[in-house]
Chain A
Amino acid sequence: MKNLLFITTLLLLLSSCGREANPVSAPKQLLEVSANDYLEAEKNLETEVREINFFSLPNEEDLANFSFEQGDSLFESNLNAWGRVLSNHQVGTNFANKYFHKYPCFKVKEGSNEGKCLLNEVAGVTSFIPDYSYSCESMVASYGLYQNIVYDERIPSSFTEEEFAASTETLSTMLNDIKSCFFEAKTNHMAGISKSLSTLDKEISFSTYIFNIANVRDKGWRINKSYLSKENKLKDILEENYFKNFSCYQVRKGPNKRKCYLKKLSRITKSKPEKIRSCEDLEELTPMFEGIVEDTAIPADSRSKYVISESDLNRLKNDVLECKKMEGGKLKRYQSLAHEGRTLRDDGKILVRELLSQAEIKSGRKFLTTAATIHDEDTSTGKLSEIFIDLNEMTISDDTRLAIDFQTGEGFKYYGPSLGNMTSMVIKRKYNAVANYTYYTVHFKFFVSNGMVVETDPTEDKGLSFDTNSTFGVRMSGKMLFHYPDGSKRKGVMKIEVSYKN
């Protein structure tokens, strides 16, 4: 009996015992992330939309017959724009520095080496400013110009050395760089879309182009806003430091007619001072302070109040010089850079439209959508997109209406919640648990007359991100999903920008 008990116990023991695994803990190391303090609820917003960028992107199937190679009309007809945009992008800049800017071409203007390239300027012989290749193909074209430089007495005798004419070793390096250029151009998605690429790689490259151009556009906008701001600040400085220093009340009669008095003299000078808006104005007025003769109309003991002293005149002349230096230097530079920034933004818009248009032609599917805004006017019907945002309540009114052309043949048409062809634009409050801050997203759908439905990113209910900052004002941006009438879907992007009121 005891033995039987023993056996049974052992059986039960063996069949039922299990052990617990040891506790485990995987090593973790999380970087600190900062919160984003961005919402400025007290600012008033415009209701007219400054800009809307809105389009779907072609997928693999759409791009099967698409290619975009340097030399194509898509590239050649927008050469300058491509050059500006590519050189302003991180990859483009690195690429250019690595290959194109390595070999300057100072073109020989005349003589037996006319048209050839030297690596350094020779005064009177070559161009003052070098040319650079802008593509791997143009590197091939220019390679021959560095070769076979013949003797020319005007070129320093060391012309066969590295400093001026490319040596055999340099030419060999150049050739290797050309090969590397083509290889790397294929892999960095910013040097064309070859016919031979797989359709997936074409989709990746095409979308990368669009996103990178968008980054450059934003960069351009930031440059524009930054230098506009600097320009205004500088103008304020000029105003404070120079334009306000001396007032010119022009003399209307008497021995000093058309000269400047520092103060108004009743019935003698104009009642208001001359407006000085620029250093040039200041320069033109300076001689009018000089050569002031005796005028009995000026009270005897007040001459110094009306007539500029010698020392002040010298100071004025100095002000003119300083003012012109600043205006001609910094101000011009700021204005030029602000303009460049604006040009970059416009360039990017053109290039995106060109790429999408080409994709539309090759695939037979529509991708481009246009919205009538302050920056993109509807010149035919005058429609304008308006959006009514309450930053205090974080709501968007149903009176909002966006003038959009979905390429249905109807032109610009208003879409709005109160018009029945769009859902309400709902702002949702979300929380970034890792960075510990609250943010907002916007959610809505368009119902287009041709049966297409376009909605904000439904993945994880993401929507468009809602942001406010001093550069862009209010910006709602993110992914959109296009449901085409034939049942297919495409991913796309939408960006709505509204300015603050000044």
Chain B
Amino acid sequence: MNRLIISTVIFALTGSLYATNMKAPISLPTAKTLPKGVRNINLKGVFASASEKYNTFGNPVGLSDPMYTNVTFGDLILGKDDGFDKAGIISKMQLVGATEDTILGETTGDINVKPTVTVPVFAWGITNKWTAAIAVPVMKYSMNVDSGIRQTNADIYNKVQTELMNDGLHAEREELNRKFAAPLEAKIIEYGYRPLANEEGTKLGDIALVNRLKAWEDKNNALTLTGAVVLPTGEELDPDKVVDIPGGDGQTDIVVGINHDFYFAKYFTFSSGLSYTAQLSDTVERRVPIQRKSTVSKDRDNNIDRNLGDITTAQMASNINYRGYSFGMGYTFSYKSGDKYSGSKYEQTRYDWLGKDSVQNMQALTAKVGYDTITLFKEGKFIAPLAISLTHTRVLDGKNMVNDPLTVLDFNMFF
């Protein structure tokens, strides 16, 4: 009972920060529940950054890596609406002796995001075996973004300009000079996106309703079952922004999990957990890509069927707690299957590109230190049972995952 009276109710809120993406764990697994009538306010402050990620091959790359892409004549042709405009480019291309594969330059980019997520969680021990909770994530974020271009093919670029000048096509030349100096900005304006700019803001995330049921308990073991619903309350991805930090993914998730604690010594606990998150399908509005390498597009469809990939997570951890001082370490493995998109307005290949690089996996290490006043409270030496902890997670390996570490400051109050 001692170690069971009070606990920190931990909820893995996967997928809450960046819509469909899987994120590193912010807690260690536990099978604890609240005693009947005990309420808990838990406040998590999640401090993260995003500047690097593991790509689809598991190699670490900058977050802005997708912004580095060659610009070819083929891309310019693809970016035009109709045959007339495409032919205008083809004609100039042929005149200067180039082909669709001729590289004119490389787009570049840099992006840095610092999100801070605060998650107030209110939990209530309905019975000794059943704890219910609600978690309401609020995200404050700061994002700096910049784009550019390296114009590398002086020979062809000058030839094209010479041809335009010889033909007296000054307006066309000005358009070429302007758009090729800042191709992403030009496309953003042309396609009706909001201008690319640094941004700060606060957004509500997806609210989670969690139920935990103590299925088994004895002197050395505890087994709990978890069922949760993550509601689409967070602000969704804005299709008119090239780079956006959504509050939520806009669809409902059903989470089921099982946790086991093994108390192998007075102060030591070995925990393990397994969870499955089913991301229910829904309908969304998105820009439909024109080509695989860029999601920037003028075409939009507000009736896209989306089925985000489900997430499977396995965790294990060990924890020591001596008179309120605690230390724990854990390992997490997660896998998310690919996202599927479909629609009827454009060809299916283009919808498939929306789900590119959405298969994710991750291995992470979490360390946690904390202090709680529960022992002192029980001894009458402290006025309230409180707990505070600091958790730090590092992603060791992954695929299509942000690999920046995150730190969580956790505060609990029981009453």
- Please report A residues at the B interface, Cβ cutoff 8 Å: 3, 7, 10-11, 13-15, 17-31, 33-34, 36, 38, 57, 59-60, 89-91, 94, 188-190, 200-208, 210-212, 215, 218, 430, 432-435, 439-441, 457, 460, 462-467, 469, 472, 475, 477-478, 491
Contacts and interface: CB of A to CB of B under 8 A. Distances in A.
B411 A206 contact: no
Interface in B92-146: 94-97, 108-114, 116, 118, 120, 138, 140-146
B413 A7 contact: yes
Nearest to B169: A465
Given A19-B114, A33-B161, A59-B83, A478 B43 contact: no
Contacts of B118: 14-15
A472 B168 contact: yes
B398 interface: no
A18 B91 contact: no
A202 B84 CA distance: 10
B88 interface: yes
Contacts of A20: 114, 142, 200
Contacts of A491: 82, 84-85
A172 to B, nearest CB: 27
Contacts of B114: 18-22
B136 to A, nearest CB: 11
A439 B154 CA distance: 23
A19 B108 contact: no
B171 A26 contact: no
B173 interface: yes
A3 B388 CA distance: 13
A230 B320 CA distance: 97
B415 to A, nearest CB: 11
A19 B88 contact: no
A23 B169 CA distance: 39
Interface stretch (B17-25, B174-182, B305-313): B174-182
Nearest first, the 6 closest Cβ-Cβ pairs linking A and B are A467-B168, A203-B83, A207-B87, A18-B140, A211-B91, A439-B170
Contacts, number: 206
A212 B116 CA distance: 57
A18 B171 contact: no
Nearest to B45: A14
B408 to A, nearest CB: 10
Contacts of B409: 14
Contacts of B147: 26
Contact of B86 (A57, A190, A204, A478): A204
B45 A477 contact: no
Given A33-B161, A477-B167, A90 B95 contact: yes
Nearest to B383: A3
A440 B170 contact: yes
Contacts of B97: 90, 94
A57 B151 CA distance: 33
A396 to B, nearest CB: 16
Given A29-B151, A30-B149, A18 B170 contact: no
Nearest to B153: A31
Given A15-B118, A208-B91, A218 B86 contact: no
B402 interface: no
28 contacts: A7-B386, A10-B388, A11-B43, A13-B45, A14-B409, A18-B140, A18-B202, A19-B116, A20-B114, A21-B143, A21-B198, A22-B114, A24-B146, A27-B150, A28-B150, A30-B149, A36-B173, A59-B82, A94-B97, A204-B86, A204-B90, A212-B94, A432-B173, A432-B177, A439-B170, A466-B170, A467-B170, A477-B169
B169 A31 contact: no
B165 interface: yes
Contacts of B148: 26-28
B56 interface: no
A90 B96 CA distance: 8
A478 B172 contact: yes
Contact of B83 (A22, A29, A200): A200
The secondary structure that dominates the A interface is: mixed
B177 A203 contact: no
Contacts of A189: 87, 90, 94
A174 B68 CA distance: 43
A26 B144 CA distance: 11
A140 B269 CA distance: 83
A15 B140 CA distance: 9
Which of B49, B91, B141, B144 has most chain A Cβ within 10 Å?
A: B91
Contact of A18 (B116, B168, B388): B116
Contacts of A13: 45
A202 B165 CA distance: 29
B146 A469 contact: no
Contacts of B87: 189, 203-208, 210-211
Nearest to A57: B84
Contacts of B171: 430, 439, 441, 457, 462-465, 478
B94 A477 contact: no
Contacts of A33: 158, 161, 177
B177 A434 contact: yes
B67 interface: yes
Contacts of B47: 19
Nearest to B199: A21
Which of B51, B67, B142, B177 has most chain A Cβ within 10 Å?
A: B177
B411 A10 contact: yes
Contacts of B144: 21-24
Nearest to A91: B94
A131 B152 CA distance: 43
A481 B84 CA distance: 12
B45 A30 contact: no
A26 B170 contact: no
Which of A7, A10, A26 has most chain B Cβ within 10 Å?
A: A26
Contacts of A478: 169, 171-172
Contacts of B161: 33-34
A208 B86 CA distance: 8
Contacts of B120: 15
Nearest to B64: A26
B10 interface: no
Contacts of A201: 83
Contact of B168 (A57, A94, A462, A469): A469
